[in-house]
A and B are shown apart, each in its own frame.
Chain A
Amino acid sequence: MKFSDKIKKPSGPNLISFFLAILVGLLLTAQFFSTKKVEEITGPEIQENQALEVSILAESNANLRQEVNSLRVQQQEYNEALQFRLGGTEVLETTLMRYQDASGINELSGSGVTVMIDGPVLDVHLLDLLNNLRNIGVQGVALNGQRLIYKSAITPDGLQIKLDGNVITPPYRFDAVGDPDLLVTSLEREGGLLEQLIQTFPEVEVAITKKDNLTLPAYQNEITFEYAQVAAD
């Protein structure tokens, strides 16, 4: 024993330590990777995001089902009109009104919110907020008294901001017709767009007010198609 210790020939206990060390190393690595893998798949962020997508899809599908139902009702009304050779115009009128309201060509009244933003914000902040409002769900939006439609554009113009070609100046006021409670809750959400804006620009003042009755002006410009034609399905 003394002799082998001196020349450091692998002894029984040393060999055992050696293999034990390998085993511990292997187990440590296996443990580390398996824990990491499980965390990767089940991380709270990923689950949260999946849950969020499920809720968005659930809402979207519910709205789509509603649209299917309303189209079926329309279909039946037309069928009856055609069968009894009368009516029909009422259904046409109702549908027309609905699309005119959606287009922004008419004034629109209803409950909603007003969002005031005072301070040196950029065009992109207004664009993001508009996108945010559309995401929450609004029937119509106006910015500084101008009605916004599908092709409204917010662009920088030197140090100024232009909306559909017209210069707009602070304070910026969004009037949005939609569910006031839902709008306020969503807009004031922690970590939401407005909170981020205030954190980035402490000098910017934001005020959200519920409104029982808002009236949005009609879109002022003409909507024409010069290059686009209706395609056959």
Chain B
Amino acid sequence: MKTEPKKRSKSLVYPLIYLAIGVVVGGFIAVQIVTTGSLARSTNPIQPVLELGETIEEMRTDQKDLKDEIKNLRAEVEVQQDLVETRRATSKELNTELDDFETIVGLRPMQGQGIVVTMDDGEYEGLKDRNDFKNDAIIHSTDILDVVNMLWVAGAEAIAINDERVVGTTSINCIVNTILVNESHVGTPLEIRAIGDSEELARFINDPGRLTDLHSRQREYNLVIETTEAGDIQIPAFTGTYEI
């Protein structure tokens, strides 16, 4: 009498467990197939992201081409301006003034003594996520802004971040792991070149009493911030637009 119900429940338990496991496994297989299958088709969730990535690449190429074209056109216009000058005596003074202002607004490549400030992310394990804005081991756009500001304080006369000339309209921004200067992508390691009194420029950047946040992160997270003085620093012309 006692063993009968026990046996009956035992004989029911196993099929029920198998049924449950079977349903779960079937479910997993189905989901897996659906997920994997959809990857190869137009509903592939990764596809739009890849396409966006391609678009960004194309647009960056366009941007570079346009900047090259502007550079060439400006050089051609310059030749014409000189021609106009030689034809007309009255425009000589005007042309000299124009040259001066083109220099001031950053439309001329510059050279002279100065420094290169190299900045890069620290080699600090476990903190490599640029999405984390509190991440102290990586270079943020605000760090570049601070260094550029300090170089102006130190008497810099012209500054470029990688190939981007810093002018009156320049902004330095960051979208996750992309740093944008003059709306153009700049990669790490960053090279900030500045023309001016090289000793003075280096002194301001390396002074532990200035850029204190950067210096403490340099000690703690091996954040890279190095200065190299040089007799001949080359700084490219601004290739963007002044139209706003």
Binding site for B on A (CB under 8 A): 13, 16-17, 20, 23-24, 27-28, 30-31, 34-35, 38, 41-42, 45-47, 49-54, 56-61, 63-68, 70-72, 74-75, 78-79, 81-82, 85, 88-89, 91-93, 95-96, 98-100, 102-105, 124, 127-128, 131-132, 134-135, 137-139, 148-155, 178, 223, 225-233
- Cβ of A93: which chain B residues have Cβ within 8 Å of it? 94
- Cβ of B146: which chain A residues have Cβ within 8 Å of it? 124, 127
- Cβ of B49: which chain A residues have Cβ within 8 Å of it? 41-42, 46-47, 50
Given A42-B46, A138-B244, A103-B104 contact (CB < 8 Å) = yes
5 further A-B pairs in the complex, CB-CB below 8 A; given A42-B46, A92-B91: A17-B17, A50-B49, A54-B56, A60-B184, A153-B149
Whether B167 and A98, one on each chain, are in contact in the complex, defined by CB atoms closer than 8 angstroms, is: no
Given A99-B105, A134-B169, A71-B112 contact (CB < 8 Å) = no
Whether B70 and A13, one on each chain, are in contact in the complex, defined by CB atoms closer than 8 angstroms, is: no
- Output the least CB separation between B220 and chain A (Å): 20
Whether A67 and B101, one on each chain, are in contact in the complex, defined by CB atoms closer than 8 angstroms, is: no
Q: How large is the interface on B (under 10, 10 to 19, 20 to 34, 35 or more residues)?
A: 35 or more
Whether B240 and A231, one on each chain, are in contact in the complex, defined by CB atoms closer than 8 angstroms, is: no
Whether A228 and B83, one on each chain, are in contact in the complex, defined by CB atoms closer than 8 angstroms, is: no
Q: Of the 9-residue stretches B119-127, B171-179, B221-229, which lies at the interface with chain A?
A: B171-179
Whether B77 and A24, one on each chain, are in contact in the complex, defined by CB atoms closer than 8 angstroms, is: no
- Assembled-state Cα–Cα distance A23/B22 (Å): 11
Binding site for A on B (CB under 8 A): 14, 17-18, 21, 24-25, 28-29, 31-32, 35-36, 45-46, 48-49, 52-53, 55-56, 59-60, 62-63, 66-67, 69-70, 73-77, 80-81, 83-84, 87-88, 90-91, 94-95, 97-98, 101-114, 131, 142, 145-146, 149-150, 152-153, 156-158, 166-173, 175-176, 178, 180, 183-184, 195-197, 234-235, 240-244
What secondary structure prevails in chain A residues at the interface with B? helix
- Cβ of B66: which chain A residues have Cβ within 8 Å of it? 61, 64-65, 67-68
Least CB separation from A79: chain B residue = B80
22 pairs from A and B in contact (CB 8 Å cutoff): A13-B14, A17-B21, A20-B21, A23-B25, A27-B32, A31-B32, A42-B49, A47-B52, A54-B55, A60-B183, A71-B77, A78-B80, A92-B98, A96-B101, A99-B98, A102-B105, A102-B169, A103-B105, A155-B153, A225-B103, A228-B158, A228-B235
Whether B240 and A63, one on each chain, are in contact in the complex, defined by CB atoms closer than 8 angstroms, is: yes
Given A27-B29, A95-B98, A150-B166, A61-B62 contact (CB < 8 Å) = yes
- Cβ of B234: which chain A residues have Cβ within 8 Å of it? 231
Whether A99 and B101, one on each chain, are in contact in the complex, defined by CB atoms closer than 8 angstroms, is: yes
- Cβ of B196: which chain A residues have Cβ within 8 Å of it? 227-228
Whether A92 and B104, one on each chain, are in contact in the complex, defined by CB atoms closer than 8 angstroms, is: no
Whether B14 and A68, one on each chain, are in contact in the complex, defined by CB atoms closer than 8 angstroms, is: no
Whether B28 and A24, one on each chain, are in contact in the complex, defined by CB atoms closer than 8 angstroms, is: yes
Whether A52 and B175, one on each chain, are in contact in the complex, defined by CB atoms closer than 8 angstroms, is: yes
Listed residue (B76, B131, B195, B244) with the most chain A CB atoms within 10 angstroms of its CB: B244
- Cβ of A225: which chain B residues have Cβ within 8 Å of it? 103, 110, 157-158
- Cβ of B178: which chain A residues have Cβ within 8 Å of it? 49, 53
Contact of B111 among A16, A105, A228 (CB under 8 A): A228
- Assembled-state Cα–Cα distance A139/B242 (Å): 8
Least CB separation from B148: chain A residue = A153
- Assembled-state Cα–Cα distance A101/B123 (Å): 45
- Cβ of A135: which chain B residues have Cβ within 8 Å of it? 171, 173
- Cβ of B158: which chain A residues have Cβ within 8 Å of it? 225, 228
Whether A227 and B114, one on each chain, are in contact in the complex, defined by CB atoms closer than 8 angstroms, is: yes
Whether B170 and A89, one on each chain, are in contact in the complex, defined by CB atoms closer than 8 angstroms, is: no
- Assembled-state Cα–Cα distance A138/B87 (Å): 37
Whether A228 and B195, one on each chain, are in contact in the complex, defined by CB atoms closer than 8 angstroms, is: yes
Least CB separation from B111: chain A residue = A231
Least CB separation from A72: chain B residue = B73
- Output the least CB separation between A53 and chain B (Å): 5
- Cβ of A89: which chain B residues have Cβ within 8 Å of it? 84, 88, 90-91, 94
- Cβ of B73: which chain A residues have Cβ within 8 Å of it? 68, 71-72, 75
- Assembled-state Cα–Cα distance A63/B182 (Å): 12
- Output the least CB separation between A35 and chain B (Å): 7
Closest A-B pairs by Cβ, 9 of them: A67-B241, A135-B171, A88-B84, A60-B183, A78-B80, A27-B28, A64-B66, A231-B111, A57-B59
